[in-house]
Amino acid sequence: MRQISIKRSLNIRGNLFEYNKPLIMGILNMTPDSFFDGGKFNSNDLSLKRLDNMVDEGASIIDIGGCSTRPGSESISLEDEWDRIKFIIKESVKRYPKKLISVDTYRSEIASRALSEGVHLINDVSGGSFDSNMFNVISENKIPYVLMHLRGTPKDMMSKTDYDDLIIDIISYFKKKIDKLNSLGVNDIILDPGFGFAKDFDQNFEILDNLSVFSVFNLPILVGLSRKSFIRNKYGVENSLEGTLEMNKLALEKGAEIIRVHDIKEHRNLIA
């Protein structure tokens, strides 16, 4: 078992954010169709209540998303995505200047707008594959970037699970993307192996079993396991929180430094 003891820093526009324990990234979906919490927080009042609750319960990072990327989801327009998130972005930055505010988007224009409002990092499920300007935006703004592994698009990704060697393929993907980011001066990269994204039931557990392998890059590892379908299928819908806690416990033991979750308080207690 890996001892959970880390000392890291993220460089955000020249300012260092230092941490020595796993971080909780709280999910704030401003969408009507996300797989678990779609429609629960997609109004100004509800999103503010969710924001305040996540901070009170111990989230270190707030991850705001305006476009669902669940399997089979359709894309929306850029302006629709921005309209969903612009209010809560501004409020989050203003209310909680000491918290890290992240935006979950694969569009460089959304990233640019969010960063101009003071957002601290970008979480891109496509790893720069959907928008060729994304890496440039990250470089120009000198902020950390969550690089996730994905094949295909949310609409068709579950038909693209035929890997020659899953773990080697993900490592190769990360190496290529990291080299490109480094060439643009981006060094603060957070790796997300993409649980549930172009991965079938068994492949998700294969990644979890081999999570420590990704430490070869000496970069923080983020996992997004929270209440996903493979956990619901394994533990039952009614036990999806317990299953998520068990899987995140294993992930932390195997080197995850950031866990992206819906249930903040329970994971704060898990880390403690």
Number of domain units in the chain: 1
pLDDT of residue 45: 87
Q: What interhelical angle do 201-209 and 166-183 show, nearest 10? A: 70
Spatial separation of the C-alpha atoms in residues 259 and 261, rounded to whole Å? 6
pLDDT, one tens digit per residue, over 60-104 is: 999 999 988 877 767 899 999 999 999 999 999 999 999 999 999
CATH code at position 202: 3.20.20.20
6 in the Ramachandran plot: left (φ > 0), alpha (ψ -120 to 50) or beta? beta
In a domain, 44, yes or no: yes
pLDDT value at 110 more than 90: yes
In a domain, 216, yes or no: yes
Spatial separation of the C-alpha atoms in residues 164 and 270, rounded to whole Å? 35
In a domain, 1, yes or no: no
In a domain, 101, yes or no: yes
| Residue range 186-212: mean pLDDT, rounded | 97
- What backbone phi and psi angles, to 5 degrees, belong to 247? -70, -40
Q: What is the mean pLDDT of the chain?
A: 92
Q: What interhelical angle do 201-209 and 240-253 show, nearest 10? A: 40
Spatial separation of the C-alpha atoms in residues 245 and 223, rounded to whole Å? 12
pLDDT value at 37 more than 60: no
User: Which position has the higher pLDDT, 1 or 150?
Assistant: 150
In a domain, 146, yes or no: yes
Query: Among 38-42, 109-113, 140-144, which stretch is predicted with the lowest mean pLDDT?
Result: 38-42
In a domain, 170, yes or no: yes
**167 beta partners:** none
Residues with a known catalytic role: 228, 260
Task: Kindly report the number of other CB atoms within 10 A of residue 175's CB atom.
Answer: 12
pLDDT value at 38 more than 50: no
pLDDT of residue 6: 66
This prediction's pTM: 0.93
In a domain, 93, yes or no: yes
- Domain of residue 53 covers 8-271
| Residue range 208-228: mean pLDDT, rounded | 96
Which of the four pLDDT bands, split at 50, 70 and 90, describes residue 35?
A: very low
Spatial separation of the C-alpha atoms in residues 37 and 59, rounded to whole Å? 17
